[in-house]
Amino acid sequence: MSDTKVSIYRDRLDALVAAKLAAGIPAGGRAMLAESQDLVPVDTGRLRDSLTLDEDGGSATVSTDVPYALAVEFGSARQAAQPYMRPAAQAGLDAALEGMRE
């Protein structure tokens, strides 16, 4: 197979992968945000309401600026862990993979 044919097939593959990622990553981010908002324990609602989704090209990030978010997720000396982001990350991954399959 000539170098030209390999290059053409690689370009096609790159375009296909880029299109699949462009479909899957936003779906995964939205699923992760929704799942984390459903799972987070609510006292005042501040932590749940602070969860945001940032989509930037080939990535999606769910984050919060609430100082006690890590203590809720992982626990502390005073409270048991109440994971909400780690299970939501799995839901986001599942949704991203499903979006790429379509």
Both structure tokens of 38 = 């459903």
Rg of the chain, C-alpha, whole Å: 19
- Interval 27-72: pLDDT, tens: 899 999 999 999 999 999 999 999 999 988 778 999 999 999 999 9
**Count of domains forming the chain:** 1
pLDDT digits (tens, 9 = 90+) for 8-17: 777 888 887 8
What is the spatial distance between Cα 65 and Cα 7, in angstroms, rounded to a whole number? 45
C-alpha distances (whole Å) from 42 to each of 36, 56, 101 are 11, 29, 34
Distance between CA atoms of residues 55 and 59, nearest Å = 6
- pTM equals 0.80
Query: Residue 45's domain spans which residues?
Result: 3-101
| CA 82 – CA 25 distance, rounded (Å) | 26
